[in-house]
Amino acid sequence: MSKIGFVGLGIMGTPMAGHLLAAGHELFIYDIRQPAQSLIDQGATLCVSGKEVAQQSEIVILMVPDTPHVAAALFDADGVAAGLAKGKVVVDMSSISPVETKLFAQRINALGCAYLDAPVSGGEVGAKAASLTIMVGGPDAAFEQVKPLFALMGKNVTLVGGNGDGQTCKVANQIIVALNIEAVAEALLFASKMGADPAKVRQALMGGFASSRILEVHGERMIKRTFDPGFRIELHQKDLNLALSSARAIGVSLPNTATAQELFNACAAHGGKAWDHSAMVRALELLADHEVASKA
């Protein structure tokens, strides 16, 4: 069994860390807020800083919200980097900038340690079910070392390429998810305003070429009006910001991604930054002056 550090124990990090504990690994944890007592009750050791986590661990995993949080967790005075020794591995499972990730990797490599960027898809449900998709960037040897831990947290684990490629893959994932949510929202709104029962329309579409996980899960949320996250709109906004800023840097136009971001912006402006991202439909409903809802 390995000595694993885990920094960032929010909605995603807590169940992910729990799976590592359940498998018998020795776990050292830290969060700027008090971590869930359940982890401590299961045997995790609470540390006072990321530095202490790194000192105690062979592999350190980060799961925090955004690029500045990763930078702080790694490189603040009491951050992870301050506690590293040669040969250790840092794994960032947050969803952050691919460009900054490459710079972070270089700084960790300079300390004699390996770095993996390993963002995930699947949300809170996937974290709890250990069914996350994990997209990894980094060296083969470090990937093989950490792969058994990834297998405890996810089902679809892919080494995409070098450092930064995992984050690039996650940004691509978030583009696809956002545009699919927008497509499902438009379709159900159209059907509902035409007078059809959107629940029955969704049921019919699930048997055809339009079927998707977004239609299955988020289409149901739109109809039942269950917009508790899930995956918060403000986090998807962050991911699309990464997509749009990176696209500008490389001279690529992402017009539909920009539209999806504006719809998220409209939701946030109406107090919805903490809504589930399926609530993008609410922005379209405002434009149509009509709410998607089952006739049942």
Sole residue written with tokens 């000192």: 55
Catalytic, out of 51, 88, 128, 170? 170
**Could you give the count of Cα atoms lying within 13 Å of 207 in the half-sphere of its Cβ?**
4
Longest dimension (CA), the chain: 65
How far is 33 from 241, CA to CA, in rounded Å? 26
| Angle made by CA atoms 255, 275, 213, in degrees to the nearest 5 | 65
Is 188:218 a contact under the CB 8 Å cutoff?
no
Is 188:282 a contact under the CB 8 Å cutoff?
no
How far is 205 from 220, CA to CA, in rounded Å? 12
| Angle made by CA atoms 130, 100, 170, in degrees to the nearest 5 | 35
Active-site residue, 170 included: yes
Catalytic machinery residues: 170
